[in-house]
Amino acid sequence: MKREGKIQVWQDYQKEIADDHYFYVRSCIRQNFFPGSEQTFLKILRKELNKDIYENPHHTSCSGIGYHSDIVPFDTIQTIVARQFALMTEAGYKNLAVSCITSFGIYNEIIETWKEFPSELEKVRNFLKKATGREFEIPQNVAHASDIVYKFRQEIAEAGKNRLVNQKTGEPLKIVEHIGCHYSKMFPSKGVGGAEFPHVLVGMIESWGGEVVDYPERRHCCGFGFRQYLVMSNRGYSVSNSRKKFESMEPYKPDAIVSNCPGCPMFLDRWQYVIEEMEGKTYGENGQGIPVLTYEEMAGLVLGYNPWDMGMQMHQTNVEPLLDKMGIKYDPDLKYTRKDGKMIGKPTMVGCRC
């Protein structure tokens, strides 16, 4: 196919992402496991890109984990989402920036439901008015936070102090990218690159000097499965799905895994530890695990941010092998310190048993 034709085809996989003035909604999972990533995202937007992004302390969970574990009815989550939109409307914003893939899928599902079933929208407007007295407008633009980082990836590259390049060999680092099912499997047109060619993380990796690993189970679920992780006796489902991905990516010797979704990096990080405990198997170099990053952490490393400020000490699988390859200087003595620099104490074990 000629280049012009290819460009035409790719037009179908583009997504409009607002340029500025975002209303930010946080993620239950990201703020529990990777709170530093949310801080990093806000810092990049406000300090590096000089964008306006507003957070209202009154916004809540979208209740998505409850919805997808089926304890929260559809009417209830629709009305909670409508309340988030009301807070956005009241603050004078029209562009929603969503920290969570589960929430992102839910916002899209609900907005599409309202288009398909206008009676649902009318019902929800009445529910919200009755429950809170609030009214709302539907956002003009819904972006996942990674969409926004993707949009400004070149600016981040230009401001960057580090590259996704092995400083010893000069070779691009090999990065596995994991999109998260609810980013575009449900509504392909809502994600950059759709469901077939998700490009949101690829664009970041390639713009920052890395090389994307293409492997057979690239699009397979991490195994969260909501109730399949929440309940202890179901967790075999979760670890089995992550294991399937690790086995598939292992021959390509990735230097790191970067994830779009808040939950996926936690699972891909923690299940490496569990598999090592259960089977003695590790997937990284020299008996270590494969470092797992959020895309905010990857952007922060490129920009030269301190990994411990970003919360990378909260990973079970050691991130130091990646930092060393990138040539990033860090002080290991500060990894487990408090804000005032005093030692908290160390975990009994970090990484895999190696």
Partner 1 sequence: MELYQELTKDVRFVEGLKSCMNCGVCTAICPAAEFYDYDPRIIAGIIQSKDEKRIEELLKSETIWYCGECMSCKTRCPRGNTVGLIIMALRALSQELGYFAESEKGRQQLVIKRVIGGNIVTKGYCLLPENLVPELHPEQGPVGEWIYENKEEVYERVGANYKGDGEGALRKIPQESIDEISRIFEITGGFNRFDKIEYFSKKKAESMGFPENGDDYTDYINHTFTTNNGKHNRQ
Applying the rule CB under 8 A, the residues between 151 and 180 that interact with partner 1 are none
Instruction: Identify the bridge partners of residue 176 per DSSP, sorted by sequence position.
Output: 257
User: Is there binding between residue 185 and partner 1 (CB under 8 A)?
Assistant: yes
Give the per-residue contact string, 31-60, with partner 1 (x = CB under 8 A; - = no).
Answer: xx--xx-xx---------------xxxxxx
Residue 92: burial class (beta carbons within 10 Å; 0-12, 13-18, 19+): exposed
The one among 1, 233, 279, 329 contacting partner 1 by CB under 8 A: 233
Residue nearer to partner 1 on the CB measure, 21 or 220: 220
Residues in the chain: 354
Residue nearer to partner 1 on the CB measure, 174 or 243: 243
Q: Which residue type occupies 7?
A: I
User: Is there binding between residue 91 and partner 1 (CB under 8 A)?
Assistant: no
Name the CA dihedral angle for 89, 91, 97, 99, rounded to a multiple of 10 degrees: -110
Q: Sign of the CA dihedral 71, 77, 79, 83?
A: positive
For partner 1, the binding residues in 100-129 under the rule CB under 8 A are: 105, 113, 116-117, 120, 127-128
Q: Cα–Cα distance between 240 and 222 in angstroms, integer?
A: 9
Q: Cα–Cα distance between 65 and 111 in angstroms, integer?
A: 18
Give yes or no for a contact between 282 and 352, defined as CB atoms under 8 angstroms apart. yes
For partner 1, the binding residues in 242-271 under the rule CB under 8 A are: 244, 270-271
Residue nearer to partner 1 on the CB measure, 207 or 272: 272
The one among 160, 225, 254, 265 contacting partner 1 by CB under 8 A: 225
DSSP H or E stretch at residue 257:
strand 256-259
Joined tokens for residue 340 = 């005032």
User: Is there binding between residue 94 and partner 1 (CB under 8 A)?
Assistant: no
Q: What's the min distance (Å) between Cβ of 236 and partner 1?
A: 7
Residue nearer to partner 1 on the CB measure, 58 or 253: 58
Q: What's the min distance (Å) between Cβ of 338 and partner 1?
A: 5
The one among 232, 279, 286, 333 contacting partner 1 by CB under 8 A: 232
Instruction: Identify the bridge partners of residue 293 per DSSP, sorted by sequence position.
Output: 258
Residue nearer to partner 1 on the CB measure, 4 or 116: 116
Give yes or no for a contact between 323 and 333, defined as CB atoms under 8 angstroms apart. no
- Picking from 100, 255, 230, the residue whose alpha carbon sits closest to that of residue 163 is 255
Q: What's the min distance (Å) between Cβ of 106 and partner 1?
A: 11
For partner 1, the binding residues in 271-310 under the rule CB under 8 A are: 271, 273-274, 308-310
